[in-house]
Amino acid sequence: MMKVKEAFEIIKERFEKAGVDSPAFEVSVLMEDLLALPRNPEITAGETVLETEQEEKIFAAAKKREEGYPLQYIIGNWEFFGRKFFVGEGVLIPRPETELLCEAVLKFFSRKIPPKIIDLCSGSGCIAITLAKELSGASVSALELYEGAFEYLSKNNAFHGNCVKTVRGDALEAFGNFDCVVSNPPYITGKEMKELQKEVTFEPETALFGGEDGLDFYRAIAKNWFEHINSGGLIAFEIGDTQGAEVKNILLENGYLFVSVLQDYEGRDRVVTAIKP
């Protein structure tokens, strides 16, 4: 049998050879989540001897990660805005950049009457659930078309107290009236789809591919939902880091006002917001 610190070092070395970006961090996450070890297990539990079953479990998981399978899918969850969200094959993995989209919406409605919001292409529900939890009194709907993602949306909603209304439907078919339409739609271009990192290829293409130029969903959502946003309401998108000017133009061409392109923490275009007149 092997000690925790020995297993940690072996797996970390394998991850380094496999090109995993943050090998020590990822080994720690696997050990903490799959073996219920404390944070920084190589230090806090280094002398602990792994049971045979534990050893087999962690090395099997490590092998999947070496082969490019996403860490988040292996452990079955990921954190977003300080909350746990279940993920797996069939749903997009929440990313820290998307927190900026939530922050933009929260800032806009911080001193307004609790809004009625719809999150399009909701996936895991991380955006909708975050907005519902952070905006007291807000009415939030989460719209998702695909069965696999909708199952995770429903599971996460139940885990967080059924705080949003889940709706199975197409984001391009508008309905109702809302104070805010928010979306992190598919925006990867045809060219970029051929150049994806190995781990991203395990995520659903339906949540990634936004048409040959990556802008199909922005065009359709901006047009189709215009009449369903209340006057003075907000539309907010996450975008690819080269799409700021193009998405801004799409919104202006569809009659929206006060279009803003917001940058992420590395100074790259990441969010576009606009007001419905």
CA distance 59 to 56: 5
User: What is the pLDDT, as a whole number, of residue 131?
Assistant: 98
Burial of 223 (0-12, 13-18, 19+ CB in 10 A): middle
Whole-number average pLDDT of the chain: 96
Q: Ramachandran region of residue 230, left (φ > 0), alpha (ψ -120 to 50) or beta?
A: beta
pLDDT-based confidence at residue 260 (cuts at 50, 70, 90) = very high
DSSP 8-class letter at 49: B
pLDDT-based confidence at residue 52 (cuts at 50, 70, 90) = very high
Name the amino acid, one letter, at 67: E
User: What is the pLDDT, as a whole number, of residue 157?
Assistant: 98
pLDDT-based confidence at residue 1 (cuts at 50, 70, 90) = confident
In this prediction, residues 144-161 reach a mean pLDDT of 98
Q: Which tens digits make up the pLDDT trace of 115-136? A: 999 999 999 999 999 999 999 9
In this prediction, residues 203-232 reach a mean pLDDT of 96
Angle at CA 176, nearest 5°, toward 170 and 178? 105
User: What is the pLDDT, as a whole number, of residue 255?
Assistant: 98
